[in-house]
Amino acid sequence: MNPRYRPLAATTLIFIIAYALCIFQYPGMWSTRVFGNFLTDNAFLGIAAVGATFVILSGGIDLSVGAIIGLTGVVTAILISWLGLHPLLVFAIVLVLAASFGAGMGAVIHFLQVPPFIVTLAGMFLARGLASVLTQDSIPIDHEFYRTISTLYFKLPGGGRLSFIGMLMLATFVICGLIAHKTRFGSYVYAIGGNATSASLMGVPTGRVTVGIYALSSFLGGLAGIVYSLYTSAGYPLAAVGIELDSIAAVVIGGTLLTGGYGFIFGTLIGVMLQGLVQTYIVFDGTLSSWWTKIAIGFLLFMFILLQKLVFSAHSGRSRLKKGPA
């Protein structure tokens, strides 16, 4: 096997073993019903995490995703419920808005040369603040189109439902996986993450690509916001608080290197599923309190970071790690 795929294989294996152990303890978890809910409940997290994967592959970070989910949810709800626009038109508007928001952040990061961490922090404050100024309350969305979408699902054998938003998440993973691994833009992202200076010396248009990466991340954040509004049938300014950290955790657990330049979109899917598994396990157990979720995810994050360290110091020498704290 190509050593490139080893960390990915390790993550996948750990997920399968963990799932098997869960099934061993609670045979009820071996059903398409549980699996379908997995996809539905984590759809918005998964879509946001795909965006985070691109950003982290390029060696950056995006803290604004959660706030963008909240803001797009609120804008969607306002445009549909208060102005009476058709949802499809609204979706197009908010996706364009979200993408330009991200493009703006990318432009600041590239042209002012400020750490992405602080720029996206400002973006997070701005988006959260705008959403809270627009409304303080949850705005319900009651539209024919939303009801139609919530009835769209495939029946899986065994009574499970593959819902529309679950399918949307899987489609996002497939499309973005192709973008990352098969297009020129994708290889530029990897090149910048590997070493920004040599990438630009090789002729990678770093400015355009950086803007593109953050635009894509915010676009996917907007899509996640729409999915969240479909999931809850409402727009709420404080929706998805802390999702940015969950999505970063999913990316790390999925085996993407936080220094950039190495990782797979598919790994992120496993990362999201593993987080979903922890939650489902805690629901099945019933006696464990929900705060164990946080501890378990923190522990998983720690284990996978350690694993990354071991794998990379074992087969790519120590030169990679000498970068020091970035």
Structure tokens at 65: 């995703």
Among 136, 148, 183, 316, binds another protein (CB under 8 A): 136
Strand 139-140 versus strand 234-235 pairing type:
antiparallel
Q: Which helix (H) or strand (E) holds 154?
A: strand 153-155
Q: Tokens 């002729």 label which residue?
A: 203
Q: Which of 234/300 has CB closer to another protein?
A: 300
Q: How far is the CB of 102 from another protein (least distance, A)?
A: 15
Residue whose CB is less far from another protein, 177 or 260: 260
List the one residue from 29, 196, 265, 270 that touches another protein (CB under 8 A).
Answer: 196
* Pair 233, 146: CB distance under 8 Å: yes
SS3 195: coil
Taking CB under 8 A as the rule, which mask of x and - marks residues 249-288 in contact with another protein?
A: x--x-----xx-----------------------------
The answer to whether the CB of 57 falls within 8 A of the CB of 261 is yes
Binding residue for another protein (CB under 8 A) from 123, 212, 222, 225?
Answer: 123
Q: At which residue do the structure tokens 């593993």 appear?
A: 274
Q: Which residue lies nearer to another protein by CB, 36 or 66? A: 66
What gap in Å lies between CA 221 and CA 272, rounded to an integer?
15
Residue 138 burial class via C-beta count within 10 angstroms: exposed 0-12, middle 13-18, buried 19 and up = middle
Using CB under 8 A as the binding rule, whether residue 202 contacts another protein is answered as no
The Cα 252–Cα 246 span in angstroms is 10
User: How near is the Cβ of 113 to another protein at its closest, in Å?
Assistant: 5
Q: How far is the CB of 253 from another protein (least distance, A)?
A: 11
Q: What token pair was written down for 242? A: 């802390």
Instruction: Report the distance separating Cα 303 and Cα 289, nearest Å.
Output: 22
Site for another protein, residues 286 to 325, rule: CB under 8 A? 289, 291-295, 297-299, 301-302, 305-306, 309, 321-322, 324-325
Residues making contact with another protein (CB under 8 A): 61, 108, 111-115, 117-119, 121-126, 128-130, 132-133, 136, 196-197, 245, 248-249, 252, 258-259, 289, 291-295, 297-299, 301-302, 305-306, 309, 321-322, 324-326
